Amino acid sequence: MLKGKFSFVVKEDEVSIKIYKEVKDFLIYHNLKECNNKPDYIIVIGGDGTVLSAFRKYLDIVNDVKFITIHTGHLGFYTDYQVKNYKNIFEDILNRAPQVESYPLLAVEAYCTQGNMLTKNYALNEITFNNSMGSTYVAEVYINDEHFENFRGDGICISTPTGSTAYNKSLGGAVIHPKMDIFQVTEIAALNNLVYRTLGNPVILSKDEVLTIKPKNQVNNNRLSIDQSYYSNESLSKIKITLSKTKKISFLRYNNVSFWKRVKRSFIGE
Ligand code: NAP
């Protein structure tokens, strides 16, 4: 039986709230404690968007907690149970040993023109750059401190392997197995001419590499998005992105649904 303290993050819809009440009653009946302060397990009931919110809420203690997920959203890349089988969670918590799957996160450090740090943060899906006023976003792109390209276009998306099925996929990026310690850079509608020339393909970087974006501030209204949240700052001058060396997210898995089965189920059909 799972021992420890539980907390919940629940999407505000009828189905998710109903399941939440049932699971909560089950925990109380079995003397398992609900605790929002320092839980050991976070039960997420909702979609992948709800998992992003739960990750953000517990980011400070993400290495110390495990996420258990019941899917009531549309796709369910992070989620383990579905509405049709969620009642199995009761038997599983009491009698079965789960698998633990840990996935990489992006670490981002954003600096202002004066050199001070705007944010040190982490992303579960992706980080995107664009121009909040709708005109093109202009930036120099460096890989490991070497100049790589001058970008001009709608924006740049940098995704984790688990984020590869989200925004990255809409941009033509590769779908990446989430056990791989790599991250991906995809262009959002790049202009290509004699001044601004980009590779034109998604780029995959290894866990030891650093991507640096230097926005051209005369033309940009910088918008930096980290999963569901964003920062707008005109004096943003340098953003360093790498795979986090200190943080990972871990999920408890009771259902043996392979990543490729999830991909097929969501995008191709059974
Ligand atoms: P939203 O616009 O309400 O929903 C975005 C959709 O993306 C939802 O259907 C969500 O699934 C799905 N999703 C989230 N993470 C996913 C993942 N890792 N793999 C596959 N699908 C995933 O926004 P939100 O719920 O706040 O989620 C924010 C995410 O939206 C961003 O991180 C970004 O990846 C994505 N996004 C995509 C585009 C695009 O494809 N053009 C543009 C902007 C943002 P559920 O229904 O299960 O929650």
- pLDDT exceeds 80 at position 191: yes
Q: Which of 65, 60, 84, 73 is nearest to 8 (CA)?
A: 65
Whole-prediction pTM: 0.95
Q: What is the pLDDT of residues 132-183, one digit of tens each?
A: 887 899 999 999 999 999 999 999 999 999 999 999 999 999 999 999 999 9
pLDDT-derived band at 3 (thresholds 50, 70, 90) equals confident
Per-residue pLDDT tens for 25-57? Answer: 999 999 888 888 899 999 999 999 999 999 999
Average pLDDT over residues 189-206: 94
Of 48, 80, 92, 154, the active-site residue reads 48
The yes-or-no verdict on residue 69 having pLDDT over 70 is yes
Q: How far is the CA of 139 from the centre of ligand 1 (A)?
A: 25
Nearest protein CA to atom 9 of ligand 1, as residue: 74
**Any catalytic annotation for residue 92?**
no
Q: Check pLDDT > 80 for residue 218.
A: no
Mean of pLDDT over the chain? 93
Identify the residues whose C-beta falls under 6 Å from ligand 1. 47-49, 52, 73-77, 125-126, 162-163, 165-167, 170, 227-228
Residue 221 has pLDDT above 90, yes or no: no
